[in-house]
């Protein structure tokens, strides 16, 4: 079972291990866990048969399904919703108040396969007539949502994109984060990230895993663990939620076969 490095790596390692223990108790199965070095690494590990269960970010799931036939078990929920948004942020004292004000500035995306931290913010910019390739003085991939927030906070970049709960995720360590960083734009709603499996897994095992994840999400300990892991409040099933992501990829001429 492999997890994407979307937040604090140590917290994800710990949370993943706790999920494995809860699932072992619930299903009787043993789980090895690891945190990938990138979003793409989870996809390739599943495609190579090295990982059976992947906690895939939204676009990562779309890519993994297209490339390797990865199957969706569950979509996670946050605050009871299977959707979230990306947001574009700047320092509150930057004088930047609109997307147009970012022209010639430096900008941080999360990861090439991040939906809220790259795909949707980029399509938002394009829809306003701003081509990220020429609009910014430079753009970088920070590697995680936390890293984007920290880069803006420290003044390393002028702006950045991440999921809509990214400031809250670091507020405990940075209590002035909402004062220092403001949001100037939101993306359209995005289906949440997933718990997905290799298509080769036996059908009865997929059912067992699905029911196990559902049960631990409803238990007090499991709910707390999932919240600490990725801010998850629950899980549901559905694949059709991802059609808007496929359309966004099509608009950007992104080859899902690669």
Q: Are residues 136 and 162 in the same domain?
A: yes
Q: Are residues 101 and 185 in the same domain?
A: yes
- Containing domain of residue 125, as a range? 83-190
Q: Are residues 62 and 131 in the same domain?
A: no
Instruction: Categorize the per-residue pLDDT at 256 as very low, low, confident or very high, splitting at 50, 70 and 90.
Output: low
Is the residue at 258 inside a domain?
Answer: no
Phi, psi dihedral angles at 158 (to 5 degrees): -80, -35
Express each pLDDT in 22-42 by its tens digit: 999 999 999 999 999 999 999
Q: What percent of the chain has pLDDT over 70?
A: 97
Domain boundary among 166, 190, 214: 190
Q: Are residues 50 and 89 in the same domain?
A: no
Mean pLDDT to the nearest integer, 177-203 = 96
Is the residue at 23 inside a domain?
Answer: yes
Is the residue at 38 inside a domain?
Answer: yes
Do β-strands 53-56 and 194-197 pair in parallel, antiparallel, or remain unpaired?
Answer: antiparallel
CA-to-CA distance for 224 and 46, rounded, in angstroms? 27
Q: Are residues 75 and 98 in the same domain?
A: no
Question: DSSP assignment, residue 100?
Answer: G
pLDDT at 186 over 80: yes
Q: Are residues 88 and 167 in the same domain?
A: yes
Q: Which pLDDT score, from 0 to 100, does residue 194 have?
A: 95
Q: Are residues 121 and 212 in the same domain?
A: no
Please count the structural domains in the chain.
Answer: 2
Express each pLDDT in 155-185 by its tens digit: 999 999 999 999 998 998 999 999 999 999 9
Phi, psi dihedral angles at 99 (to 5 degrees): -60, -40
Comparing CA positions, the residue from 237, 210, 213, 208 lying closest to residue 75 is: 237
Is the residue at 175 inside a domain?
Answer: yes
Is the residue at 240 inside a domain?
Answer: yes
Q: Are residues 177 and 223 in the same domain?
A: no
Q: Are residues 71 and 60 in the same domain?
A: yes
Q: Are residues 8 and 61 in the same domain?
A: yes
Express each pLDDT in 61-106 by its tens digit: 999 999 999 999 999 998 888 899 999 999 999 999 999 999 999 9
Instruction: Categorize the per-residue pLDDT at 120 as very low, low, confident or very high, splitting at 50, 70 and 90.
Output: very high
CA-to-CA distance for 75 and 57, rounded, in angstroms? 10
Q: Which pLDDT score, from 0 to 100, does residue 244 have?
A: 76
pLDDT at 5 over 90: no
Is the residue at 186 inside a domain?
Answer: yes
Summary mean pLDDT of the chain: 93
Mean pLDDT to the nearest integer, 205-233 = 94
Contact (CB, 8 A) for 53 and 197? yes
Q: Which pLDDT score, from 0 to 100, does residue 55 have?
A: 96
pLDDT at 258 over 70: no
Instruction: Categorize the per-residue pLDDT at 56 as very low, low, confident or very high, splitting at 50, 70 and 90.
Output: very high
Instruction: Please tell me the pTM assigned to this model.
Output: 0.76
Is the residue at 242 inside a domain?
Answer: yes
User: Per the structure block, which two tokens stand in for 28?
Assistant: 């009787």
Express each pLDDT in 143-157 by its tens digit: 999 999 999 999 999
Domain boundary among 154, 172, 190: 190
We report the CATH number of the domain holding residue 46 as 3.40.190.10
Mean pLDDT to the nearest integer, 48-64 = 95
pLDDT at 241 over 90: no
Q: Are residues 134 and 145 in the same domain?
A: yes
CA-to-CA distance for 123 and 102, rounded, in angstroms? 15
Is the residue at 257 inside a domain?
Answer: no
Q: Are residues 94 and 218 in the same domain?
A: no
Domain boundary among 190, 206, 230: 190
């Amino acid at each position: 079972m492999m997890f994407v490095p979307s937040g604090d790596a140590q917290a994800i390692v710990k949370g993943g291990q706790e999920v494995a223990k809860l699932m072992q108790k619930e299903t009787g199965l043993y789980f090895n866990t690891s945190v990938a070095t990138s979003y793409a690494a989870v996809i390739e590990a599943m495609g190579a048969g090295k990982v059976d269960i992947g906690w895939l970010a939204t676009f990562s799931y779309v890519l993994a399904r297209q490339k390797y036939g990865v199957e969706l078990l569950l979509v996670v929920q946050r605050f009871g919703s299977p959707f979230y948004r990306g947001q574009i942020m700047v320092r509150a004292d930057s004088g930047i108040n609109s997307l147009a004000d970012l022209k010639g500035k430096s900008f941080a995306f999360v990861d090439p396969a991040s939906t809220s931290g790259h795909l949707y913010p980029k399509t938002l910019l394009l829809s306003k007539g701003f081509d990220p390739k020429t609009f910014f003085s430079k753009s970088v991939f920070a590697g995680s949502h936390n890293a984007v927030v920290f880069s803006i906070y420290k003044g390393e970049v002028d702006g950045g994109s991440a999921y809509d709960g990214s400031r809250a995720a670091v507020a405990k360590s940075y209590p002035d984060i909402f004062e220092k960083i403001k949001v100037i734009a939101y993306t359209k709603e995005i289906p949440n990230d997933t718990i997905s499996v290799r298509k080769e897994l036996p059908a009865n095992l997929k059912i067992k895993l699905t029911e196990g994840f559902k049960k631990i999400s409803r238990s007090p300990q499991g709910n707390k663990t999932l919240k600490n892991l990725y801010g998850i409040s629950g899980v549901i099933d559905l694949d059709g939620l991802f059609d808007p992501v496929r359309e966004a990829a099509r608009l950007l001429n992104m080859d899902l076969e690669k």
